[in-house]
A and B are shown apart, each in its own frame.
Chain A
């Protein structure tokens, strides 16, 4: 069965701290894609990154970085020097080639950045 687990329901840190959001996925497929989306209080989900299963290179985009490890089926997301504007719910999602066109979503991690 395909599944995405985000074990951290809520994380609260003080501004400028680094924070890592965990994502663990389950699939027997060898070809798949992993995503991270951000959902601010406005409700609109915003795409952050897409990674395919054949590309295990870590990626950095400004203060954001992603660590993809197939050996542990994890795709973790780190925010360095967090800012209040980073406060949102973050979702990890999995898509398969033969998944009826649907994304499989984790339950999300609510990130609170305190000033």
Chain B
């Protein structure tokens, strides 16, 4: 079975642009979470979606938005990119929505903002 897949793997954008990152969860998983990981730091929670509804949101500005589709795949959108948005964006899936779920992560999308 395929694991969590993310696309693209790498992306280079300039300040002010918009970006869309995509994630496909493990088959049967209904929960998708997004994390931002800056080099040398632990992941920071951005969003969690379960059954197509937003269940949790981290401390990120409104420039960050996400959605989950009927097939449970998800998109993370970031508008008006800033240099500080450069990071590895990780998607994780789980079968349930509880905070004690074991998470399965993708390899991430490395975003560079110039």
Contact = CB atoms under 8 A, between A and B. Distances in A.
B105 A45 contact: yes
Interface string A96-110: 110111110111100
A52 interface: yes
A103 B102 contact: no
Contact of B100 (A4, A95, A102): A95
Contacts of B105: 37, 44-46
A47 B33 contact: no
Contacts of B103: 37, 45, 47, 103
B43 A44 contact: no
A33 interface: yes
Q: In this complex, which of B40, B97, B100, B110 has the most chain A Cβ atoms within 10 angstroms of its Cβ?
A: B100
User: Chain A interface residue count: which class?
Assistant: 20 to 34
B56 interface: yes
Contact of B107 (A44, A91, A99, A107): A44
Contacts of A33: 99-100
User: Chain B interface residue count: which class?
Assistant: 20 to 34
Interface string B34-74: 00000011111100100000011110000000000000000
Contact of A101 (B41, B90, B97): B97
Nearest 10 pairs of A and B residues by beta carbon: A101-B56, A105-B42, A102-B45, A95-B99, A45-B105, A33-B100, A101-B48, A100-B56, A44-B107, A43-B108
17 contacts: A33-B99, A37-B105, A42-B107, A43-B88, A44-B105, A44-B107, A45-B103, A47-B102, A95-B100, A100-B56, A101-B45, A102-B33, A102-B56, A103-B103, A105-B42, A106-B42, A107-B42
Interface of B: 3, 33, 40-45, 48, 55-58, 88, 90, 92, 97, 99-100, 102-108, 110
